[in-house]
Copies of this chain bind each other. A is one copy, B any other.
Amino acid sequence: MRDALQVQLTDLTDRLAVMAHDVAQAMRDATTACLEGRVRLAERVISGDAAIDARRDEIEEQAVTILALQQPVATDLRRALAVIHVADDIERMGDLARHVAKAVRRRHPASPVPGEVHPLLERMADTAITMALKASEVLRTGNVLLAAELDGDDDEMDHLHREVFAVLMDQSWPHEVTAAVDLTLLARFYERYADHAVAVAKRTIYAVVGGGPDPLPI
């Protein structure tokens, strides 16, 4: 019985790892669509988000079934609850990739981002995607050191976010207000995506090692 429960929880965690991998790909595609003006790729990200939502619902439902039928305690209870929280975080990361893709569709055939900001946005996207992939790996392996790395990545993201504001606040911003609005929102989407990746890793480690609500220096 106990063993069956472990198998079920590990299966759910593995599925979350795949889901995290998929929202990394969604953000990669949304970014490519944004930087290369590929509206059909943006459309694919937008329509693909429903499948991510459906997987969240399925995984949450199975975690609730585990709680109802197997009434886990201690670490198993924490793991089942973490599954529910993490599924929410990853689903939200999918939403944020969709928001990036929607900005592309809204401005097409223009690009939502002026060319000279592309390198900065690319660095934000790279950081966000790396963080999602690390969170996926933490889900698969429970690697505490990798989870701790996400904190440094998030600092880097905050740094890039501030750089975007510096560019926007520069008196010599030569573009329309529309481009400023788009860039403001896009930068926020990447930054929130990164926050959720950190939350995924924290929740995952907490579920395994326990402790207070915020037990790790990550």
Interface residues of A (CB under 8 A from B): 57, 60-61, 64, 67-68, 71, 73-74, 77-78, 81, 84-85, 88, 165, 168-169, 173, 177-178, 180-181, 184-185, 188, 213
Q: Which residues of B contact A184 (CB under 8 A)?
A: 180-181, 184-185
Establish whether residues B64 and A68, one from each chain, have CB atoms under 8 Å apart when the complex forms.
Answer: no
Q: Which 6 A-B pairs have the closest CB atoms?
A: A71-B71, A184-B184, A177-B180, A57-B213, A181-B184, A173-B177
Decide yes or no: A213 and B60 within 8 Å by CB, A67-B67, A68-B73, A185-B184 being known contacts: yes
Residues of B within 8 A of A177 (CB): 168-169, 173, 177, 180
Copy number in the complex reads 2
- Least CB distance, A9 to chain B, in whole angstroms: 15
Of B74, B81, B173, B188, which contacts A188 at CB under 8 A? B188
Say what secondary structure dominates the interface of chain A: helix
Please name 15 further chain A to chain B contacts, defined as beta carbons within 8 Å, in addition to the given A64-B78, A68-B74, A168-B181, sorted by A numbering.
A57-B213, A64-B81, A67-B67, A67-B77, A68-B73, A81-B84, A84-B84, A165-B181, A168-B178, A169-B177, A169-B181, A177-B180, A180-B184, A181-B184, A184-B184
Decide: A77 and B73 in contact? CB cutoff 8 A: no
Interfacial chain B residues near A71, Cβ < 8 Å? 71
- For A179, give the chain B residue with the smallest CB separation: B177
Q: Which residue of B lies closest to A213 (CB)?
A: B57
Contact of A61 among B67, B73, B74, B213 (CB under 8 A): B213
| Max chain B Cβ within 10 angstroms of own Cβ: one of A60, A71, A181 | A181
Query: How far, in Å, is A186 (CB) from chain B's closest CB?
Result: 11
Give me 24 A-to-B residue pairs in the complex whose CB atoms sit less than 8 angstroms apart, sorted by A's number: A60-B213, A64-B77, A64-B78, A64-B81, A67-B77, A68-B73, A68-B77, A71-B71, A81-B84, A84-B84, A85-B88, A88-B88, A168-B177, A168-B178, A169-B181, A173-B177, A177-B180, A180-B180, A180-B181, A180-B184, A184-B184, A184-B185, A185-B188, A188-B188
